[in-house]
Structure 1
Amino acid sequence: MKRLHIHVSVDDLSQSIRFYSALFGCEPAKQKRDYAKWMLDDPKVNFAISARGAKAGIDHLGIQVEEGGELEEVRERLKKADLHTFAEGETTCCYAKSDKTWVKDPSGIAWEAYQTMAEAAFFNEAGLNATACCAPEMASIETPVNSGCC
């Protein structure tokens, strides 16, 4: 099973948790001092927010998978779409240990394809004091140049 992942940077975590909890009709499945995540079944989405000093708005999007075969399937789709990817491999991000591949869409929005293997005590490998989210330096990933609409 695949799940859409949306990560939004917010200015005020407490206020945003109240808003999204009301919108989704439930409390976060995970909550930290700088992060909250809802694992929704209707719609099937992993929705996360963080207040780590990044500009407010969409931080990145993703496809979360449960099994390694599904991750390989998504990676193959990206290759067939002729998109340049960055295979990050196993890493710690958003309080979880995951296997990740990153890509930029034609507009330059970061997308990740990933499988989570375990929970983690820290936001990312840089520890508690790291700012921003886990996307690698996206400048190293080329944005497709001949992308059409829709």
Structure 2
Amino acid sequence: MKRFHLNLKVSDLEKSRTYYAKLFGEQPAVVKPDYIKWMLDDPYINFSIEPASDQTGIAHVGLQAENLEELETAYQRVQDAAGPRFEEGATTCCYASSEKNWTSDPDGLIWEVFHTDGQVTHYGKPPQLKQSEASVSCC
């Protein structure tokens, strides 16, 4: 089963951490100075927050595959949706090693489709997307 992913840009990371920990009834799974993530089972979501450099709100949404077979099915759906897409492939972002593709819906909402295969000790880097394709801020 794919896990829904939501990444928010927030004005105050620590205040948001406290708020969401109380809202979800549990502490985050990952806490870094520039990134916090909850891996919730109810609701089944990968919910992350990070500091906003300018605008707060939804940075991107996504689908996190549990295995590579599920990821391939999700990649096919991204292709079938026929929106702009960026095939990032293997990458390190958000303190994780992942395989990713990106797209955007007709209104420009950024979608990430990915599978994470391990954690790393550094944030990583945002994808270098072409201007003609989806414009996205990683994690």
TM superposition score normalised by structure 2? 0.90
Unmatched 5+ stretches in structure 2: none
Given the superposition, is the C-alpha separation of residues 23 and 135 from structure 1 closer, same or farther in structure 2, using an over 3 Å criterion?
A: farther
Whole-angstrom distance in 2 between the partners of 1:80 and 1:2: 18
Match in the other structure for 1:147: none
Correspondence list, 1:59-98, <5 A: 59-98=59-98
The size of the alignment, in residue pairs, is: 135
> Is the CA contact (8 Å cut-off) linking 2:102 and 2:134 kept in structure 1?
no
Unmatched 5+ stretches in structure 1: 126-133, 144-150
Whole-angstrom distance in 2 between the partners of 1:47 and 1:142: 21
CA RMSD of aligned residues (A): 1.7
Larger radius of gyration: 1
Match in the other structure for 2:12: 12
* Percentage of identical aligned residues: 42
> Is the CA contact (8 Å cut-off) linking 2:88 and 2:127 kept in structure 1?
no
Whole-angstrom distance in 1 between the partners of 2:83 and 2:95: 28
> Is the CA contact (8 Å cut-off) linking 1:34 and 1:52 kept in structure 2?
no
Whole-angstrom distance in 1 between the partners of 2:13 and 2:134: 32
